[in-house]
């Protein structure tokens, strides 16, 4: 008699609560930070101002560097709640919640008789350091991961026999993945699709190939439904950039020999903290030689290994490129741990706990004087986060003596490290990365009709927080300052400087990352020699 096994995933309540707590911590401990988060929310603000949902703008100029989905979602939220800062800060956590659910869903399809595999995978994903960071940031990577997971689920549905339904989901995931972060979603999905004979032998190969190609065409149609009207409205340069220039430029940058092949490898224990530092997981990896690979493990490796190899081969490496690989790792590790952790002292969380405790002790030691060298701007550091981290490490080591408590102990240790590190530097983050006061001063100047310019690279960081109605002029070099003031004698310039004693006071000044941002009119600039 065959026993039917439900593939309906159980909701990962514990990891979801952990995500909610970390979201609150992130909102309390750090502002939307320049230059990325503030740029993206400003692009969304200009979309709101213009009521233009096709062509993106940054500081009044067409912005072709990113697709529109994130900005659409910001504007949809504002249409319901009004323009605010908190809604953009919830979009990534909501996609992260969806990723947790989809990870459990994939686990139930890959191992329908192993409920524990999905639970373990959800805990691992929710408490990995890099995943926690980007789940609480206003970036594109967790949103991309959501659609990669949705497409992976579509592939599994198709492989299980429901090809029409599965490939419809795959097409949907490809189309919206492109609208989320561009064609990179194809890298994550097509590698798994091409390797299907390895992880699911016996598939009707011709039907499978035809279904995948139709799904790619369907996804392209979804993306083109935005891209073609946007290209027509945006003009020739915008059209060239969204159809070719952006992808070509990224490929050139990616192979510009910036970072070595092995650059990711020493970072992996930190990015996947605490899991890759847990000897118990490595014992389970070692057992694969004896136990072998089932179809589900092969599915995870078909996603994880080729994509990681590709990102290692290109030299333009960024840590957030790896974010969509975290669910594949979590599924792989969750399945191995569901088979059995492996007893003994080697299975305990002593190594992650030792490293976390050492970090906590270092935080206490550095607190009185701040950090040195390039980070000597970090000052007035509190001792209590370091003390709590030491206690959390001791608690994890003690709880982890019993196998039943090891997973929750490690998950809470990872989340505790992330939360306490943010609180440790929170005061400095708010003082040096919160640009709202300066942006509001710029907004007041524009409201009075005063022209404003920015010296140096400008990333539109002030547009949203200042609710600016007009672009800021961009002056790339000091030689452009005098001609600009000749045209705008009552204007104000934003400069980033290291203040010197005795200088004429600016109109306004505040810390800005590692410098000081100042608002200067003609008088102080003349005294400093810029208008001679």
> How much is the pLDDT for 42?
96
61-62 vs 57-58, strand pairing mode? antiparallel
> How much is the pLDDT for 7?
54
Q: Predicted confidence band at 328 (pLDDT cuts at 50, 70, 90)?
A: very high
Q: For residues 308 and 297, give the distance between their C-alpha atoms in angstroms, rounded to a whole number.
A: 16
Q: For residues 377 and 216, give the distance between their C-alpha atoms in angstroms, rounded to a whole number.
A: 49
| H or E segment and range at residue 251 | helix 246-254
| H or E segment and range at residue 509 | strand 508-512
> How much is the pLDDT for 389?
94
The three-class DSSP label of residue 453 is strand
The model's pLDDT over 482-521, given as tens digits with 9 standing for 90+, comes to 899 989 999 999 999 888 887 888 999 998 887 889 999 8
Q: For residues 191 and 208, give the distance between their C-alpha atoms in angstroms, rounded to a whole number.
A: 14
Count, residues in the chain: 532
Q: For residues 432 and 439, give the distance between their C-alpha atoms in angstroms, rounded to a whole number.
A: 14
Q: For residues 79 and 418, give the distance between their C-alpha atoms in angstroms, rounded to a whole number.
A: 33
Rounded mean pLDDT of 516-529? 87
> How much is the pLDDT for 492?
92
> How much is the pLDDT for 344?
47
Q: For residues 129 and 392, give the distance between their C-alpha atoms in angstroms, rounded to a whole number.
A: 16
Token pair for 141: 């990577």
Q: Predicted confidence band at 350 (pLDDT cuts at 50, 70, 90)?
A: confident
Average pLDDT of the chain is 88
Rounded mean pLDDT of 3-32? 81
The dihedrals phi and psi of 511, each to the nearest 5 degrees, come to -60, 145
> How much is the pLDDT for 357?
93
CA angle 30, 33, 37 (to 5 degrees): 120
> How much is the pLDDT for 345?
47
pTM of the model: 0.91
Is 277 in contact with 352 (CB distance < 8 Å)? yes
CA-wise closest residue to 410 among 328, 333, 348: 348
DSSP 344: S
DSSP codes, 382-446: -SHHHHHHHHHHHHHHHHTTSHHHHHHHHHHHHHHHHHHHHHHHHHHHHHHH--HHHHHHHHHHH
Is 347 in contact with 406 (CB distance < 8 Å)? yes
Token pair for 440: 């509001």
Spatial neighbors of 20 by CB under 8 A, at least 6 apart, are 93
Spatial neighbors of 248 by CB under 8 A, at least 6 apart, are none
Rounded mean pLDDT of 5-32? 84
Res 5 pLDDT > 50: no
Rounded mean pLDDT of 445-464? 93
> Distances from the Cα of 346 to the Cαs of 274, 383, 401, in angstroms?
15, 32, 10
> How much is the pLDDT for 86?
94
Q: Using only C-alpha atoms, what is the Rg of the chain?
A: 25
DSSP 217: H
Is 95 in contact with 76 (CB distance < 8 Å)? no
| DSSP tally for the chain: helices H, then strands E | 24, 7
The model's pLDDT over 104-120, given as tens digits with 9 standing for 90+, comes to 999 999 999 888 899 99
The model's pLDDT over 202-223, given as tens digits with 9 standing for 90+, comes to 889 899 999 999 999 999 999 9
Q: For residues 524 and 530, give the distance between their C-alpha atoms in angstroms, rounded to a whole number.
A: 9
């Amino acid at each position: 008699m065959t026993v039917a096994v439900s593939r309906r995933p159980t909701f990962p309540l514990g990891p979801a609560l952990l995500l909610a707590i970390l979201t609150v911590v992130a909102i309390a401990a750090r502002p939307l930070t320049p230059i990325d988060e503030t740029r993206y929310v400003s692009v969304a603000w200009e979309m709101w101002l213009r009521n233009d949902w096709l062509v993106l703008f940054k500081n009044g100029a067409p912005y072709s560097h990113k697709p529109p989905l994130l900005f659409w979602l910001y504007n949809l939220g504002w249409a319901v709640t009004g323009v605010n800062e908190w809604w953009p800060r919830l979009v990534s956590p909501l996609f992260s919640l969806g990723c947790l659910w989809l990870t459990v869903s994939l686990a139930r399809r890959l191992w329908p008789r192993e409920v524990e595999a999905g639970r373990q995978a959800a805990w691992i994903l929710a408490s990995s350091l890099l995943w926690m960071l980007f789940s609480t940031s206003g970036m594109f990577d967790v949103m991309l991961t959501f659609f990669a997971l949705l497409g992976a689920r579509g592939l599994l549905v198709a492989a299980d026999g429901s090809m029409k339904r599965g490939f419809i989901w795959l097409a949907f995931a490809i189309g919206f993945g492109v609208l989320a972060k561009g064609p990179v979603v194809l890298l994550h999905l097509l590698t798994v699709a091409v390797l299907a004979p390895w992880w699911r032998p016996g598939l009707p190969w011709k039907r499978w190939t035809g279904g995948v190609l139709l799904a790619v065409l369907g996804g392209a149609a979804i993306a083109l439904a935005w891209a073609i009207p946007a290209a027509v409205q945006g003009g020739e340069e915008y059209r060239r950039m969204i159809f070719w220039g952006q992808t070509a430029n990224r490929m050139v940058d990616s192979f510009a020999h910036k970072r070595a092949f092995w650059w990711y490898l020493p970072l992996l224990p930190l990015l996947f903290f605490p899991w890759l530092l847990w000897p118990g997981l490595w014992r389970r990896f070692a057992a694969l030689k004896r136990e072998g690979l089932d179809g589900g493990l092969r599915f995870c490796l078909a996603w994880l290994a080729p994509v990681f190899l590709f990102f290692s081969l290109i030299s333009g490496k960024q840590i957030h490129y790896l974010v969509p690989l975290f669910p594949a790792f979590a599924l792989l590790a969750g399945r191995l741990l569901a088979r059995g952790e492996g007893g003994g002292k080697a299975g305990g969380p002593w190594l992650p706990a030792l490293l976390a405790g050492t970090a906590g002790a270092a935080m206490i030691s550095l607190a009185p004087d701040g950090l040195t060298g390039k980070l000597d701007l970090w000052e007035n550091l509190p001792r209590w986060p370091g003390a709590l981290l030491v206690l959390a490490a001791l608690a994890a080591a003690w709880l982890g003596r019993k196998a039943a408590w090891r997973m929750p102990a490690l998950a809470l240790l990872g989340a505790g490290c992330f939360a306490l590190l943010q609180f440790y530097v929170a005061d400095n983050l708010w003082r040096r990365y919160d640009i709202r006061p300066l942006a509001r001063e710029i907004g007041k100047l524009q409201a009075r009709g005063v022209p404003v310019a920015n010296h140096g690279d400008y990333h539109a960081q002030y547009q949203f927080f200042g609710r600016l109605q007009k672009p800021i002029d961009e002056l790339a070099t000091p030689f452009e300052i005098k001609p600009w003031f000749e045209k705008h004698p009552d204007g104000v310039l934003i400069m980033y400087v290291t203040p010197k004693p005795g200088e004429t006071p600016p109109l306004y000044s505040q810390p800005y990352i590692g410098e000081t941002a100042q608002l200067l009119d003609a008088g102080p600039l003349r005294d400093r020699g810029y208008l001679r």
